Amino acid sequence: MPWLELSLNLRAEQQPEIEAALEDIGALSITLLDAEDHPIFEPGVGETPLWPTLALTALFDASCDRSGLLHALTDLVPEIAPEHISFRDVADEDWTRIWMDQYQPMRFGQRLWIYPWNIEPPTEAGAAIIVRLDPGLAFGTGTHPTTALCLEWLDGANLVGKSVIDYGCGSGILAIAALKLGAARVTGVDNDPQALLASHDNAERNRVADRLDIFLPQDTAPASHDLLVANILAGPLFELAPLFAQSIRSDGAFALSGILGGQQHELLERYAEWFDALEVRTREDWVLIHGVRK
């Protein structure tokens, strides 16, 4: 499907209000770039963005009315000047074709492979564990360092017969990998209904949907799991520590990522209250923390 892209520049202090307003009027995704065109992923706990001016783009369904979106946004955030907002059409087939051209099978750990749906695994794949993904459901494909860290951790864990919770499941890539690696059942949690749909569709493609339960956070029943994996952001990871501690049985394992280098120190201190054997892995500028429930 085609998309409608909205672009504007904003002051850093306007970011939370404008992001919330865009979500209220139906934005399907929001991307922030700093003054050097670098993506803004997540400020450190208690930090503010480095650059005073940010560039924002938001994607909407192509059927959305530009004038209606403009009026709705400026009504919610009156200080935005309409002349600073621009729109353009984005053809779905353009980014999908580029994505498929660039996205080749990737290996994580000893056994785990991620394949795009349009490439058939070789018949001699043997004991390889293969996860198939749909490029049209781009919530997590294995190309980001944090996803790669989590996939490698899962590949090295003993998942056979275990129960796993994937908090912030996105595309379902981690949940599906856990099931393919032998987990008996996985619970996927995400606050984005579209992510839950992506997880379900990808699980069906991989023939594991019958062992995957997916929920919004408020609908998730309390339970104790053997393993937890959460690839979200440092701020939510800090706040969710008590909940995660309740979600893992004694001696159960966990892995956290979505953490920029330098953000791990506060998280290590925070999680030490409930977890032992805390260790850190790094990939490029990103960090994974893993450990064992006391």
- Binding residues, by number, are 147, 168, 190, 231
Q: How far apart are CA 213 and CA 196, in angstroms?
A: 10
Distance CA 9, CA 7 (A): 7
First-to-last alpha carbon distance for the chain, in angstroms, is 48
Taking the C-alpha atoms of residue 276 and residue 274, their distance in angstroms, rounded to an integer, is 7
Query: What is the distance between the alpha carbons of residues 51 and 34, in angstroms, rounded to a whole number?
Result: 6
- Distance (Å, whole) CA 90 – CA 145: 27
Query: How far, in Å, CA of 294 to CA of 292, rounded?
Result: 6
Give the list of residues 6+ apart from residue 233 with CB closer than 8 angstroms, or none.
41, 42, 258, 259
Two tokens, residue 265: 């120190």
Residue 139 C-alpha from the chain's centroid: 6
Residue in 32, 34, 30, 9 with CA at minimum distance from that of residue 21: 30
**66 neighbors 4 (Cβ within 8 angstroms):** yes
Question: Tokens standing for 279?
Answer: 């260790």
Annotated binding-site members for S-adenosyl-L-methionine: 147, 168, 190, 231
CA 251 to chain centre: 26
141-to-102, 144, 147, 172 alpha-carbon distances in Å = 12, 7, 8, 9
CB-neighbour burial class of residue 179 (10 A; exposed 0-12, middle 13-18, buried 19+)? buried
